[in-house]
């Protein structure tokens, strides 16, 4: 035992692994073995050892320690759901000392930080700190500091969106969000001071990690820190510190001496980026290739895709666009291997900085190069993969889909894919029988953002018609380039996949002269992952409404007196039972759907929000909030996929440019064929006018897409002609 401990402390991980078959199956020795594999980047082997040990150690006194270590390894692999379950089990069942339980709290903090649940992470870190000392305390402090920075970034982004749409985000005003940021900033500064002070007493690796993390507050220059790292004994940590300091050549030397291929792949790639920055593209290209080969040897896909991506950029600089596109596609294939792990990670910046740009760069190059329907079919596949990645990022969970099972377009239908890029907006038009074409639109991303924001603002003022001019400009930019093809092919139905700010755009109210787009076409938003609009009679359904305030929330939501009229009219039209106000409880809603009794539609008239991710999204019942995951569970209880879900609330889809992912993703994950919701706070009297029109047509066996169009056209012929009263209603299909 002591010999293995000494080998481990000296970093002789390969030697410990070479003794694996000779080791006694003692839990402590096996944990040393597992950690040795982990320190060499061989996480699968490390996890397998602890899983086997856990299975054989049901009555072991250190079972909570095994669970905690396994949770940390699963976290390193990105398997956050499994890691969370194990860590919570360890935390709740631990009979260890407070200091050991605090280590588990720290692991839970790491898990929730990675999941983007910064408030929960902050809470667990603060639970851990009082009982920890020295290195463990410093590690938790540094993780807390990083999490607080990410939390502040997220709240700052929320403020930007709240100002953009003149609205609340997650039920908080700009002033409330600013106040929250100030409080976190104060706590952040205290944590920084504690961390710097503690690191001074520890020196070594812990000291240097802290000084590099807090380099802006450190009294040491980058070069001084580099010289201190050079003095450290050979170890994996030394190589990682070199990388953090931007010294990949030295990290490369450590990787080779320690035979750590994971570190080697990252060091080679980082060195390649240095040569690329200096303009030495041939040398950079060679290093990126070596980094890829090394990563492939150990299945380090999170390293491999980065260097395939860099190879694509090199080829692009060398004007070899065909080779660049091939490298982009290889990088996306590698990224697809990581989908189960990446789906669980929603740390601020992880997706938008490290993943999403890869899809967008590949799409941009592909659109520039596309010359045939075959080329565009390949781009359509990338778009589908991108949408799946967006949905998984939104729900923080994998979304298994078969790309070959998606429905094909029928005669009279067309699919319009918008791709908004910084310098250019593109549109791909798909007609039946895989007939694809693409167009470069006269719009940059910033111009589109400005126009869309202006139009949304104009639509709010129902006493003016200022919106008409901007509605015509947007029609001219977005739809006019497609008109000849749409007319030639006698298209009557448009499935629209919006991009970025277009997700908050009421396409139905775009205008060509005096004619609205909804007067020309049936419209639905779609994620491009299969659409289903078969005619089904709404013979069985459930109707819920909340016209009074809810006891579930501290937000001062206004009453919705029009809801009572709305659900009573729907009851009259459908002959279905309604559940209203204090009967519309959380429990009654969950019990309303069962495997024994299938329903074809569910109507929920209540307040709710679809925010920037699933955690920020909910509906209100009379007594408590219904989370998006709980709504998903409810819909999955139905014996058959639901044909129609109507969320007739005041702001069931307001938030940011990814709220459509909530509704569309819900449709995909539950098999629901059609989801109707709103893009803004539709007045509840307007809702009481439009939804009965919709159900009147739906009961006449019109599919939802046609029933909604007819309802909106009926509103155009009524006293509620202004688009703010009817255009906010959108239909989403998968």
| pLDDT score of 668 | 86
Q: Which tokens sit at 96?
A: 């260890």
At 356, list the tokens: 């999403």
Q: What is the domain range of residue 192?
A: 2-222
Closest CA to 428 of 482, 357, 384, 356: 482
Whether 535 is covered by a domain: the verdict is no
Please state which of the ranges 45-54, 185-194, 654-663, 691-700 shows the lowest mean pLDDT.
Answer: 654-663
- Based on the fold, state whether residues 428 and 467 are members of the same structural domain: yes
Of 483, 501, 526, which residue sits at a domain end? Answer: 526
241, part of any domain: no
What pLDDT score does 662 carry? 81
Domain-ending residue, one of 361, 395, 429: 395
- Shortest CA distance to 348 belongs to which of 300, 393, 385? 393
Q: Is the pLDDT confidence value at 368 over 60? A: yes
Positive or negative, the CA dihedral 316, 320, 324, 327 is negative
Question: What distance in Å separates the CA atoms of residue 270 and residue 242, rounded to the nearest whole number?
Answer: 11
Q: Is residue 248 part of a domain?
A: no
How many domains does the chain divide into?
A: 4
Judgement on whether residues 501 and 361 belong to the same structural domain of the protein? no
For residues 81 and 176, membership in a common domain is answered with: yes
Interatomic CA distance for residues 490 and 74, integer angstroms: 54
CATH assignment at residue 14: 1.25.40.10
At residue 536 the predicted structure's pLDDT band, cuts being 50, 70 and 90, is low
Q: How many whole angstroms from its chain centre is CA 505? A: 21
Q: Is the pLDDT of residue 654 over 70?
A: no
Contact 55, 61 (CB under 8 A): no
- What is the mean predicted confidence (pLDDT) over 15-38? 85
Q: What are phi and psi of 545, to 5 degrees?
A: -145, 145
Q: What are the φ/ψ torsions at residue 593 (nearest 5 degrees)?
A: -120, 135
Q: Which of 344, 353, 260, 358 is nearest to 76 (CA)?
A: 344
Arithmetic mean of pLDDT, 646-670: 73
Return the SS3 of 524.
strand
- Helix H segments across 115-260? 118-128, 134-165, 174-202, 204-213, 222-230, 236-244, 248-258
**Domain co-membership, 75 together with 203:** yes
pLDDT for position 287: 98
**Smallest Cα–Cα separation from 39: which of 60, 62, 17, 59?**
17
Which of these ranges, 35-44, 162-171, 204-213, 332-341, has the smallest mean pLDDT? Answer: 162-171
Using DSSP bridges, classify how beta strands 425-431 and 435-441 pair: parallel, antiparallel or unpaired: antiparallel
**Does 610 reside within a domain?**
yes
Residue 339, in any domain of the structure? yes
The whole-chain average pLDDT of the chain stands at: 87
Residue 424 inside a domain? The answer is yes
Read off the pLDDT band of 535 (50, 70, 90).
Answer: very low
Which range among 3-7, 172-176, 449-453, 557-561 has the greatest average pLDDT?
A: 449-453
Distance CA 133, CA 121 (A): 19
Which of 599, 414, 597, 423 minimizes the C-alpha distance to 490? 414
Last residue of a domain, one of 174, 194, 222: 222
Q: Tell whether 553 and 521 lie within a shared domain.
A: no
Report how far residue 301's alpha carbon sits from residue 581's, in angstroms, rounded to the nearest whole number.
Answer: 52
Q: Are residues 101 and 207 in the same domain?
A: yes
Q: Are 136 and 89 contained in the same domain?
A: yes
Query: What is the spatial distance between Cα 177 and Cα 175, in angstroms, rounded to a whole number?
Result: 5
Do 289 and 377 belong to one domain?
Answer: yes
Describe the strand order of the beta sheet including 413-420 as a list of residue ranges. Answer: 435-441, 425-431, 413-420, 493-497, 522-526, 729-733, 674-678, 644-647, 601-605, 541-545, 578-580
Looking at 48-62, 115-129, 365-379, 620-634, which range is the least confident one? 48-62
3-state SS assignment for residue 309: helix
Tell me the pLDDT band of 166, cut-offs 50, 70 and 90.
Answer: low
Look at residues 277, 342, 339, 272 and name the one whose alpha carbon lies nearest to residue 311.
272
As given in the structure block, the two tokens for residue 698 are 């739906």
Is residue 567 within 8 A of residue 522, CB to CB? The reply is no
Q: Would the pLDDT of 686 be above 70?
A: no
pLDDT 10s digits, 301-315: 999 999 999 999 999
pLDDT of residue 653: 45
Quote the pLDDT of residue 521. 98
Structure tokens at 558: 């206004």
Q: How far apart are CA 417 and CA 425, in angstroms?
A: 11
537 pLDDT tier (thresholds 50, 70, 90): very low
- Predicted confidence at residue 386, as pLDDT, reads 92
Alpha carbon separation from 517 to 619, 667, 723 (Å, rounded): 30, 25, 11
Q: Which residue has the higher pLDDT, 142 or 533?
A: 142
Residue 325 confidence (pLDDT): 96
**Rounded to the nearest 10 degrees, how much is the dihedral formed by the CA atoms of 125, 130, 133, 136?**
-10
Give 544's strand partners.
579, 604
Kindly indicate the confidence band of residue 655, based on its pLDDT and cuts at 50, 70 and 90.
Answer: very low
Q: Any idea what DSSP says for residue 116? A: T
Whether pLDDT at 531 is above 70: no
How many CB atoms are located within 10 Å of the residue 56 CB?
Answer: 12
With cut-offs at 50, 70 and 90, classify the pLDDT of residue 580. very high
Query: Do 36 and 159 fall within a single domain?
Result: yes
Is 70 exceeded by the pLDDT of residue 725? Answer: yes
- CA pair distance 383, 413, nearest whole angstrom: 19
What pLDDT shows up at residue 674? 93
Instruction: CATH number of the domain at 432, please.
Output: 3.30.420
Asked whether residue 237 is domain-assigned, the answer is: no
Question: Do the domain assignments include residue 510?
Answer: yes
pLDDT of residue 556: 60
- State the pTM of this model: 0.83
Bridging pattern class, strands 522-526 and 729-733? parallel
Q: Are residues 325 and 445 in the same domain?
A: no
What pLDDT, in 10s, does the model give residues 380-432?
999 999 998 888 888 877 776 655 555 688 999 999 999 999 889 999 999 99
379 in the same domain as 420:
no
Express each pLDDT in 449-466 by its tens digit. Answer: 899 989 988 988 877 888
326 and 422 belong to one structural domain? no
Percent of the chain with pLDDT strictly greater than 90: 48
């Amino acid at each position: 035992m002591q010999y293995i401990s000494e080998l481990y402390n000296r970093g002789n991980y390969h030697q410990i692994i070479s003794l694996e078959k000779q080791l006694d199956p003692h839990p402590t020795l096996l944990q040393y073995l597992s950690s040795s594999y982990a320190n060499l980047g061989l996480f699968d082997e490390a996890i397998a050892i602890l899983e086997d040990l856990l299975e054989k150690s049901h009555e072991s006194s250190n079972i909570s320690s095994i669970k905690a270590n396994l949770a940390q390894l699963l976290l390193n692999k990105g398997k956050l759901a499994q890691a969370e379950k194990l860590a919570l089990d360890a935390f709740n069942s631990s009979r260890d000392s407070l200091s050991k339980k605090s280590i588990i709290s720290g692991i839970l903090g790491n898990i929730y930080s990675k999941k983007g649940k910064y408030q929960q992470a902050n809470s667990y870190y603060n639970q851990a700190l009082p009982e920890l000392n020295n290195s463990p305390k410093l590690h938790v402090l540094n993780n807390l500091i990083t999490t607080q920075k990410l939390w502040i970034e997220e709240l700052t982004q929320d403020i930007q969106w709240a100002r953009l749409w003149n609205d609340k985000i997650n039920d908080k005003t700009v002033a409330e969000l600013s106040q929250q940021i100030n409080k976190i900033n104060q706590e952040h500064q205290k944590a920084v001071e504690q961390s710097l002070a503690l690191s001074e007493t520890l020196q070594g690796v812990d000291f240097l990690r802290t000084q590099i993390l807090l380099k802006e507050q450190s009294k040491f220059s980058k070069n001084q820190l580099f010289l201190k790292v050079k003095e450290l004994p050979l170890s994996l940590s030394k190589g990682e510190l070199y990388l953090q300091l931007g010294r990949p050549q030295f990290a490369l030397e450590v990787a080779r001496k320690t035979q750590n291929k994971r570190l080697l792949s990252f060091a080679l790639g980082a060195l390649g980026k240095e040569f690329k920055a200096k303009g030495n593209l041939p040398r950079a290209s060679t290093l990126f290739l070596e980094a890829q080969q090394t990563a492939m040897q150990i299945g380090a896909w999170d390293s491999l895709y980065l260097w395939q991506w860099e190879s694509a950029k090199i080829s692009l600089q060398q004007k070899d666009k065909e080779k660049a596109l091939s490298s982009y596609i290889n990088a996306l294939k590698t990224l697809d291997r990581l989908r189960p792990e990446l789906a669980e990670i929603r740390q601020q910046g992880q997706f938008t900085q490290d993943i999403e740009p890869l899809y967008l760069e590949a799409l941009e190059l592909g659109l520039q190069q596309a010359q045939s329907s075959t080329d565009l079919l390949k781009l359509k596949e990338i778009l589908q993969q991108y949408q799946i990645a967006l949905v998984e990022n939104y729900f923080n969970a994998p979304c298994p889909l078969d790309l070959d099972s998606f429905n094909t377009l029928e005669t009279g239908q067309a699919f319009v894919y918008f791709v908004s890029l910084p310098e250019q907006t593109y549109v791909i038009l798909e007609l039946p029988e895989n007939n694809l074409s693409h167009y470069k639109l006269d719009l940059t991303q910033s111009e589109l953002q400005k126009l869309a924001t202006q139009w949304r603002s104009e639509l709010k003022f129902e006493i003016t018609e200022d919106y008409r001019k901007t509605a015509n400009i947007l029609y001219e930019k977005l739809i006019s380039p497609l008109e000849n093809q749409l007319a030639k092919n006698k298209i009557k139905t448009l499935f629209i996949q919006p991009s970025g700010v277009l997700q908050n755009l009421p396409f139905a109210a775009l205008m060509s002269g005096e004619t609205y787009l909804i007067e020309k076409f049936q419209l639905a938003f779609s994620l491009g992952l299969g659409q289903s609009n078969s005619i089904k009679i709404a013979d069985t359904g459930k109707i819920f409404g909340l016209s009074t305030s809810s006891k579930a929330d501290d937000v001062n939501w206004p009453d919705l007196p029009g809801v009572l009229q709305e659900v009573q009219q729907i009851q009259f039209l459908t002959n279905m039972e309604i559940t209203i106000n204090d009967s519309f409880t959380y429990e009654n809603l969950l019990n309303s759907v069962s495997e024994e009794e299938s329903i074809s539609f569910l109507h929920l008239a209540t307040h709710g929000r679809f925010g920037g991710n699933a955690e920020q999204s909910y509906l209100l019942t009379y007594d408590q909030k219904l989370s998006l995951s709980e709504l998903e569970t409810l819909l999955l209880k139905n014996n058959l996929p639901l044909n129609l879900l109507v969320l007739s609330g005041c702001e069931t889809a307001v938030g940011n440019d990814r709220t459509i992912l909530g509704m569309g993703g819900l449709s995909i994950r539950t098999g629901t064929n059609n989801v109707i919701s709103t893009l803004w706070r539709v007045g509840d009297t307007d809702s009481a006018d439009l939804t009965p029109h919709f159900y009147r047509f739906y009961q006449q066996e019109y599919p939802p897409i046609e029933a909604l169009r007819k309802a909106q056209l009926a509103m155009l012929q009524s006293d509620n002609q202004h688009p703010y009263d009817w255009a906010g209603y959108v239909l989403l299909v998968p």
